[in-house]
Each structure stands twice: as structure tokens, then as C-alpha cells.
Amino acid sequence: MDSIAQPLTRVVEAVQRFIITPEVRLLHVATDDSLRLAVLEHIAAGEHHGDNHSPFFVLETPTEEGEDGWEGRAEELRADYEELRTLLDEAREGVSLPALWSEPKAQNALARFTLEVDEALRRFTAPFDGMVLVLAPVWVRDPKRWGSDLKSLLTRPELKKARFILVEADGPHSEALAVALAKEAERVDARPDEKQASQDMAQMLAAMASAPAGATGAQVLGAAGPRVAPPPRKGAPQPMSAAQREEVARELKVAPALLDPSFQQTLRLKVLTAAQALREGKAAQAVQEQREARDLCLKAGMKREAVTMELVLGGYVLQAKQTAQALEVFREARKRAEAHQFPELAVQAQLAQASTLLVLQRSEEAARAYSEAGKLGIAASAPVLAIEGYRMCGQLLAGAGKVAEATAAWKRALEVADKAPENERSASSAPEAARQLAALCRKHGLKVQADSLEAQAAALEVSPTRRAQEA
């Protein structure tokens, strides 16, 4: 699809120019969330270019309001340096890096990050030539501070051998900085053309709809192909009959429709058509197509899939600004999930109800709904969802001035996090709950408790992999 291929091609070409043009210090890449990961993969691949002698470090810590993210990026840099050092030792090709440096002391997070980069640069001697910092925050909530910090980094004399690639998916925040650097910077727009994307999707859906019965492979997904089904290959197994599908489905304990290519094609087309209609602003059509997709699953006895489709349907109804109706859809999804014993889907439906109540400005009900989601999450052994339920409950209570109740909710979130597996704990919103509770403590003069909670938040963010590397 050209709408995806063209922006990525522009990124590849820009990275290649960046590598062979050392006088360019900064490459600014503007993209969007849909292509962000693909853009990062193509940038990271540039590290293996034959003319490149600078290791790439991809740092993704976001920038929040009141939290610049440089502490997190410093930790990412240290972890990636250690990983590179290990890989070089294992390769046994005569290239090695010194051990990690002592963690520098600095007055603020940006100063510490600067010192960390400076220490890394000192270790990248021949055959290395400096380093490339790919700064790709998941989001930037404070663009003004972000731009000021970047300008500071680019003007530090001790970092002159560091080059930068900025990847921004929520707005070209640093475009003005790139323009100001003139010949020392290059810009590339890697955002998909919405009109082209819409045309590509329409063509794909039309091809899927016209695919003949018995079509296989890429043609089923919208690729070009003959108007009639190809003859069966010699020795190829015959398609299962309805009776055979029933028998195999009983053995596998699944709905027979899951084994029916024709049904799967119909369902896939409904789901994609609904998504495309929403993308084009046709919310009513999106709701209708998604409702039909849910009904197909219900009729076919695909219970889990029906609940999943209903959750998506609720989101589409919400997008159609039919908020009260969306609330009813999510309530029905929870009932269906509980009736068929899908506890995690029931938690998701409850969280969706709470969010919808918030849109309806029924904050007290929303807080109770989030608290209920927390309880359901614990019962369903879904700590990430439970933590989010209690965190949001605390946030709403704090906003209503109910300090004691908010504190209890946030503490409950942290209790769940303490008992959760490490990988789920670090992926949850528990660090945010700890910071929100810390801010509340600081506001009421409880500095020691606030400092302890902020330290707890930092510890919660450390993934098991990072912890093992540090150990």
C-alpha cells in the first residue's frame, strides 16, 4: 500500500543521507502513531549501513507535564550501552567496550543525561565514531520544555560527536529547531497521506469482497488475483465439509465457524469495513457494520469473539457521539462476558463503562465504576487492569476534594502492584498512581512520604530485564 510504503521509503532515504553526511547533526522525522514503530525499525536498520561507524541508541521515554523524561532516557542509555557491550564480547571479533561508568551526580535530570552521553562518547574510540541518539518519546506533553532541552543538548561542546535523530509521532514539535539549524539539520515527513490511505483501504476491501470462493493466500486479504478460484493443486487436501468441520470443532472445543474460510472472510470484511468507515468519519456506517460483525459471531456461537466485537462496537457508538447508547453496549458486554466466564473481558467492559460515565460528566458514578473495575481485576487475576481501575478512581476522588478516599484508592493500586508479577507491574499505571499519591503528600507537607513514593514509582518502572542487567 503506497500510503504506508512511501513515508517509510522517505525515512530510509533520509537515514542513508544522514549517515553519509556527517556535517548534519540532526535528522527530524515527523510521523504518526500508526507508523511510529515501523519508522523506528527502519531507522534502527540504518545502524547496519556499510558507511556507519556510530552505534544507534533508541530512547523512548515520554515527556510529561512536570516530568521531562531525561532520567528515564539516561537509564535507557546505560542499559543499551551494557547490552551492546555484552553483544560485542559474545561476538569475539576483537572489538570491545569498557565497563559501565559510575552513575554521575547532577543537579537535574537533563544535566545527568548530558553527563551520561559524555561518558559514553569517551568510550566510543576507534573503530567507533561517536554515537547516534534516536530520541523517540512515545509522546510529548510539554513541547516548549522539550524544544528547550533539545537546543541545550545540541549546543553542548562536549557532545559534538553525538548526532541526533528525533522521531515525533504526536506533532512536529521540533520542526522549528531543525529549521533554525539550517544545513546542520534535515527534515523528513513520514506521515501517511490520509487520502491515499483511504483509497488504498477502499481498493483492498473491494478486492476482498470480490475474491472468489475458494481463494487462498494474499488474495483473501485483498491482494490482486484471478476472478475465479484456481484449480486445486495435485495432492492438496480437500476442503473440509460442514460435517467434518463439526467433528473437528468438537474435538478442539471451538465453534465450527472458526474452521470455515468463507465465514472468516465475511467476518474479516465486516470488521475492516467498519474500521475504514470510522476512519472516513462515517460513524453511523461503522456502527452498523460492527454490529453485524458482532451478530455474526453470536449466531456462529463464537462467544469470546462476540464479546470482543461488542467492546469495539461500544467504542464506535461512542465515536458516533451516542454516549448513553455506548454505556448500554458496554454494560451488555460485561453481562455477556460474565455469563460466558470471560473475567478479563468483563473487567475491560467495566473500565469502558467508567470511561463513558466520565464522558457523560457523571464523575461520582465513574469513580465507583472504576473502583468496581479494580475489584473485578483482582478477581480476574488481571493486575494491570485492576491497578488502572483503582488509579483512575483515586484521580477522580482527588479531583472532587475527597483526599482520604483518593489516598485509599491509590494505596489499593500500589498493593495490587506489590503482589503482581514484575513484568506486569512495570507495564501498569502503578508508577503514575505512586506519583499522584506523592504529589498529594507533598501538597500536605508530607515530604518524607512523598520522596518515598517517588522512589517507589521509579522502582516500579524498572522492567525485569533492566533489573537483571543492573544486577
Each domain of the chain, given as residue ranges in start order, spans 2-196, 258-334, 342-464
Region 254-269: what's the mean pLDDT?
Answer: 79
Q: How confident is the model at residue 436 (pLDDT cuts 50, 70, 90)?
A: confident
Q: Thinking of the domain 342-464, which architecture would CATH place it in?
A: Alpha Horseshoe (1.25)
Beta bridge partners of 188: 29
- CA 57 to chain CA centroid, Å, is 19
Is pLDDT above 90 for 255?
A: no
Region 159-164: what's the mean pLDDT?
Answer: 93
Cell 537515514 sits on residue: 15
Beta bridge partners of 165: 27, 134
Is pLDDT above 90 for 56?
A: yes
CATH class assigned to 2-196: alpha beta
Beta bridge partners of 164: 26, 133
pLDDT given for residue 24 in this prediction? 93
Q: How confident is the model at residue 91 (pLDDT cuts 50, 70, 90)?
A: confident
pLDDT given for residue 432 in this prediction? 82
Q: How confident is the model at residue 151 (pLDDT cuts 50, 70, 90)?
A: very high
Looking at the chain, the number of H-run helices and the number of E-run strands are 20, 5
Classified as helix, coil or strand, 94 is: coil
Burial label, 356 (beta-carbon count in 10 A; 0-12, 13-18, 19+)? buried
Region 197-208: what's the mean pLDDT?
Answer: 64
CB 372 within 8 A of CB 349: no
Q: What Cα–Cα distance (Å) separates residue 198 from each residue in 151, 194, 275, 322, 340?
A: 37, 6, 11, 25, 37
Buried b (16+ CB within 10 A) or exposed e, 414-437: bebbeebeeebbbebbbbbbbbbb
| Rounded-to-integer distance, Cα 434 and Cα 432, Å | 5
Is pLDDT above 60 for 464?
A: no
pLDDT given for residue 14 in this prediction? 93
In 3D space, the residue among 74, 76, 65 whose CA is nearest the CA of residue 153 turns out to be 74
CB 164 within 8 A of CB 153: yes
Burial label, 102 (beta-carbon count in 10 A; 0-12, 13-18, 19+)? exposed
| Rounded-to-integer distance, Cα 166 and Cα 150, Å | 10
pLDDT digits (tens, 9 = 90+) for 98-145: 888 888 887 888 999 999 999 999 999 888 999 999 999 988 888 999
Hey, which bits of 205-359 come out as E strands?
none
pLDDT digits (tens, 9 = 90+) for 382-413: 999 999 999 999 989 988 888 889 889 989 98
CB 31 within 8 A of CB 167: yes
Report which residue type is found at 12: V
Is pLDDT above 70 for 292?
A: yes
Output the pTM of the full model. 0.57
| Rounded-to-integer distance, Cα 246 and Cα 407, Å | 54
Region 319-337: what's the mean pLDDT?
Answer: 94
Region 94-98: what's the mean pLDDT?
Answer: 86
| Rounded-to-integer distance, Cα 29 and Cα 11, Å | 8
